[in-house]
Each structure stands twice: as C-alpha cells, then as structure tokens.
Amino acid sequence: MPLDLIKTTLVGTSSLQKNSSEGTKYPTDSLQDKKYREAIGKYHRALLEMKGLCRVLGDPDTSKSPSTVLTSISKSSLTDEQKGAVENAELECYNSLAACLLQMELVNYERVKEYCLKVLRKEGENFKALYRSGVAYYHLGDFNKALHYLKESHKQQPTDTNVIRYIQLTEMKIRRNAQREKSEVP
C-alpha cells in the first residue's frame, strides 16, 4: 500500500530530520550536503507517492496537494484516521524539506518560505514553520514579514536563542533601513 511506502520513506530520513529540525549545525562539506540532498529527494518522493495515492483513490488532478485532494475523495476510500495520517505526513515532509534546505551550502530561501507557508496554512501555530518562515523572509530581505513570523514563534518559545538572535538581527535591519530612508528624504 502506498501509505506504507510513505511511512518507510519518512522513517528512513528520520534521524537526519531530527538533527536538522532541531537546528543542529553541521560543517558544510560535500558529504553532509549530499545527505541533505538525499533526504530532500526522499521527502519529494514521499510527496509524489501521496499525490499518486490520491489519484488512485479518485482525484486525477495531481497539481493539488495531497491534503487538498483528500477532502474531495469519497468517504469510503479513506477513513478519517487515514486522511489525518496522510495530511500529517505531508506537513511533516514540507517541514522537513524546509529544515534540510536551510542546511544546504546554497540555501533556496524562496523554497523554504514556500514549504513553511504550506505547513502554516494547515497548522498556523507550528513553531518550526513559523521560525523557518521568519528566517527565510529575513534572508529574502522582507524584514517586516520576517519579524512577524519570528515574533509569533517567540510567543511559543520565548527562551529559544535562535529566535531571539534573528529577532534582534531583523529589528536592527529595520532600524537601519528606516535611518537610510530618513537620510535620503530632503
């Protein structure tokens, strides 16, 4: 059954996911980078398997995310528990993809943002997605949005030093931009 394959794929990357999602820093050597690339591939494959599962169960539109499709699939195809498991697996994949991308030597912050926002659409209070969204927006130069997401994550974990550090960096960038704009206005 495809759901078993998805679980197997997720279990295979769980130790890497655990390390990356907890913010553990690794040296950016090619071996470590390769492991993250491998994990990214596995998460993408798991998402494709979930889309395939949804297609088999009755929705041919593979452009939709699996959790969106699940609401339109007939009640008899999947139990609520199975639908919940697929949705949780999908969110876990997107969250883990964002974590892995942040560990890469060349980070695609646009993708990190995209994956985190997918998680936040379903779980608006997800700490890791909030924090990673803030980090992505910071590096993309959208400091107001970065500050919003970072402050939301700070509400959940006020002692997290990474969150505090990024809030300070973001506030500093906002102040500098305001000073620069002020000095440019005649």
Same domain, 100 and 129: no
CATH number, domain of 134, equals 1.25.40.10
Structure tokens at 85: 């498991």
Residue 150 identity: L
Give the mean pLDDT of 99-126: 97
10 contacts: CB under 8 Å, gap ≥ 6 = 17, 46, 89, 92, 93
Residues making up the chain, counted from first to last: 186
pLDDT tens by residue, 95-112:
999 999 999 999 999 999
Asked if residue 16 lies in contact with residue 102, where contact means CB atoms within 8 angstroms, the answer is no
Same domain, 94 and 133: no
26 contacts: CB under 8 Å, gap ≥ 6 = 19, 32, 103
Same domain, 103 and 141: no
Same domain, 168 and 84: no
Number of domains the chain is built from: 2
Which percentage of the chain shows pLDDT scores above 70?
Answer: 72
Same domain, 102 and 138: no
Q: Pick 86 or 170 by higher pLDDT.
A: 170
**pTM for the full predicted model:** 0.75
115: in domain: no
Q: By residue range, what is the domain housing residue 3?
A: 1-107
Quickly state the pLDDT bin for 30 (edges 50, 70, 90): low
Looking from the CA of 11 toward its CB, the CA atoms found within 13 Å total 6
Which percentage of the chain shows pLDDT scores above 90?
Answer: 58
Structure tokens at 140: 């993309």
Asked if residue 16 has pLDDT above 80, the reply is no
Phi-psi region of 65 (alpha: psi -120 to 50; beta: other; left: phi over 0): beta
pLDDT tens by residue, 60-99:
555 556 555 555 545 457 788 888 888 999 999 999 999 9
Same domain, 77 and 2: yes
114: in domain: no
The chain-wide mean pLDDT, for the chain, equals 81
Same domain, 43 and 82: yes
Cα 55 from chain centre: 24
Give the mean pLDDT of 42-49: 92
Same domain, 128 and 87: no
